[in-house]
Structure 1
């Protein structure tokens, strides 16, 4: 019943020329093999990126080059997330492993 109501509401909004509100998305980046996979993600303002450590014995962090903001270290099977409210290009690397690099591109 609830799903039918949502579908009817969304359809009614489209008929009126209004789009239903978008929900924030979540993009997953894995730390595996001493790489961030994928190395580049594209999201919209308000979306989040979740970094998940898939290594067996190593901790990682996410260090943003421009601001110096660094996540706490996250260990195997742990995760850390950040919501990006502003458009821009956010380059990052792993704090303890600078060869691991990535970028989050936030656009409209």
Structure 2
């Protein structure tokens, strides 16, 4: 019996099994910023998903400020984007740092 061939076959089988055992892959979502508004203003995602905010304004910079933690993105200018991955389930409220009237919420499901 060729031990190397058997070992390679077992390793390949374990690798393929591990690819499918992980379940559903994380998704990516976009939030547009236009006319001082986050669109959509409320977004429901799954834990592990990534959200990207895209500044579609013509002349204004924005940021994403998370109310509960005080964490804030850097300012991003027209045509730029900023992303964050959400690993923990829960409700995450945010606003724009320089424009606090702009508000949004991410609902992260398990």
Question: Which interval holds the TM-score relative to the shorter structure?
Answer: 0.7 to 0.9
Superposed CA RMSD in Å reads: 1.5
Q: 1:30 aligns with which of 26, 32, 42?
A: 32
Is 1:51 aligned to 2:60, yes or no?
no
**Other-structure match for 2:69:** 67
Inter-partner Cα distance in structure 2 for 1:91 and 1:20: 29
* 4+ runs deviating over 6 angstroms: none
Q: Say how many residue pairs are matched.
A: 92
Is 1:106 aligned to 2:108, yes or no?
yes
Structure number with higher helix proportion: 2
The two structures have a TM-score, normalised by structure 1, of 0.81
Inter-partner Cα distance in structure 2 for 1:79 and 1:98: 19
**Structure 2 spans left out of the alignment, 5+ residues:** 1-16
Is 1:92 aligned to 2:94, yes or no?
yes
**Structure 1 spans left out of the alignment, 5+ residues:** 1-12
Structure index of larger Rg: 2
| Deviation of 1:21 (Å) | 2.3
